[in-house]
Amino acid sequence: MKKLFVLLLLLQPTLLFAQQYTRQEVREAADSILHSYLGDALFDACKYTKKGYYTYTDTSTEVHYAMLGKSKVTKGVLVNVFMSYKMDYDYPRCAGYSKIKGTINLELNNKLQSTGRPNLNFIPDFVFSHEDCHLLTKEQALNLAIEKGFKESKKAPKMEISYDPHIKQFMWTLTNRVHKDSTLQKKYVVQTMVINAGTKKVVEHTKAPKAPKPQH
pLDDT interval class at 110 (50, 70, 90): very high
Q: What is the mean pLDDT of the chain?
A: 89
Q: What is the mean pLDDT of residues 78-86?
A: 97
124 vs 70, more confident? 124
Say if residue 19's pLDDT is above 80.
no
pLDDT value of residue 181: 60
pLDDT value of residue 148: 97
Per-residue pLDDT reduced to its tens digit, 28-43: 999 999 999 999 999 9
CA angle 210, 203, 147 (to 5 degrees): 80
Say if residue 9's pLDDT is above 70.
no
Main-chain dihedrals φ then ψ at residue 196, nearest 5 degrees:
-70, 115
Say if residue 132's pLDDT is above 70.
yes
The C-alpha atoms of residue 161 and residue 101 are separated, in whole angstroms, by 13
Q: What is the mean pLDDT of residues 90-103?
A: 97
pLDDT value of residue 186: 58
Q: Are 85 and 106 in contact (CB under 8 A)?
A: yes
**Interacting residues of 123 by C-beta distance below 8 A, sequence separation 6+:** 42, 87, 100, 102
Q: What is the mean pLDDT of residues 19-24?
A: 90
Say if residue 95's pLDDT is above 70.
yes
pLDDT value of residue 59: 82
Among 9-13, 166-170, 194-198, the least confident range? 9-13
Per-residue pLDDT reduced to its tens digit, 163-192: 999 999 999 999 999 877 655 555 788 999
Closest CA to 114 of 18, 25, 36: 36
